[in-house]
Amino acid sequence: MEQVTIKVEGMSCMHCVNSIEGALKERNLKGSVDLQAGTVTVQYAADKTSLAQIKEIIEEQGYDVVA
């Protein structure tokens, strides 16, 4: 299992947390949002999911992936 922490802009409240964590969960990914730090930490299996896919899932929810 890999773990990555992605910097994301535009997350401000529990609604943001729920939409991002929920969207990841729908793809069987365990994500946790840190509002204060503006980051999303995701655990994923590198043979099933790519980093690009994870970023896409977050962007689909309307947030900007910074790094």
Query: Which residues lie near Cu ion (CB under 5 A)?
Result: 12-13, 15-16
The DSSP secondary-structure symbol of 16 reads H
Tell me the closest approach of the beta carbon of residue 13 to Cu ion, in angstroms: 3
Taking the C-alpha atoms of residue 25 and residue 20, their distance in angstroms, rounded to an integer, is 9
Tell me the closest approach of the beta carbon of residue 61 to Cu ion, in angstroms: 10
Residue 16 or 44 having the CB closest to Cu ion: 16
Tell me the closest approach of the beta carbon of residue 2 to Cu ion, in angstroms: 27
Taking the C-alpha atoms of residue 26 and residue 44, their distance in angstroms, rounded to an integer, is 13
